[in-house]
Amino acid sequence: MVEMRVAGIALDAASRSPIVLLRDPSGRRQVPIWIDQSQAQNIMAGLQRERPPRPLSHDLMVSLLEAGGLRLERVIIHAIEDNTFRAVLRLQRGEDPAAEVDARPSDAIALALRTGSAIWMLEEVVADASIPVDAEADAEDQEDFRRFLDRTSPAELVRHLQRGEGAAPPQPPEGVEDAAGGSEPASGEPPADSAEERDSAGP
């Protein structure tokens, strides 16, 4: 397995859909995961270590883990199925055997950032889904996403998401095409644009 770190959030150049970028220790490979706007905001809040006036969903999840005496040992992104990344949370309570809980990678990443837990990815998943790193382009994309959030009110964000429900699937940004070997789902259809079907390996 490869321990990954969150390099930041980028925007799909065509659709303005956010992508979370995970980078390997060498800094030469990164894995893009297509997510939605709310998932991106949750991850950004974790990256910036913001403390909201009232707990958000992932802050509440962390509090529930602590109240139950559970520790998030690590996040493991272990497969790509139907063009969608799969992950588990590895939870530990004292000396008890660790338990693994199925989770969306975006939720798992948001929790890992809040708890300081490691994010691991199987080498075969990194090999299949990674792209070469372009640090300059990444920095521009992340700044573009921050500007997008700064300009967008909550009401406008809701309208943006509602319009996107019937829109064509997002196209990859320059340099991100073929992120998962260039293959589409077996049916030939793009992944659905619902929250459940995000965390995809490509647009």
Percent of the chain with pLDDT over 70: 68
Q: What is the pLDDT of residues 16-43, one digit of tens each?
A: 889 999 999 988 899 999 999 999 989 9
Looking at residue 189, what is its pLDDT? Answer: 35
Which H/E stretch holds residue 156? helix 154-164
Distance CA 81, CA 202 (A): 12
Structure tokens belonging to residue 201: 């390996």
Q: Look at the block and give the residue holding tokens 């770190």.
A: 5
Helix (H, G, I), strand (E, B) or coil at 63: helix
DSSP string, 112-144: HHHHT-EEEE-HHHHHHH-EE--HHHHHHHHHH
Distance CA 137, CA 144 (A): 10
Whether residue 190 has pLDDT greater than 50: no
Task: Enumerate domains of the chain plus CATH numbers.
Answer: 2-197 (3.10.690.10)
Distance CA 19, CA 22 (A): 10
CB burial readout 39-50, b (16+ within 10 A) else e: bbbbbbbbbeee
CB 183 within 8 A of CB 151: no
H helix and E strand count, the chain? 6, 8
Q: What is the pLDDT of residues 40-58, one digit of tens each?
A: 989 998 998 877 788 888 9
Q: What is the pLDDT of residues 50-108, one digit of tens each?
A: 777 888 889 999 999 999 999 999 999 999 999 999 999 999 999 899 999 999 999 99
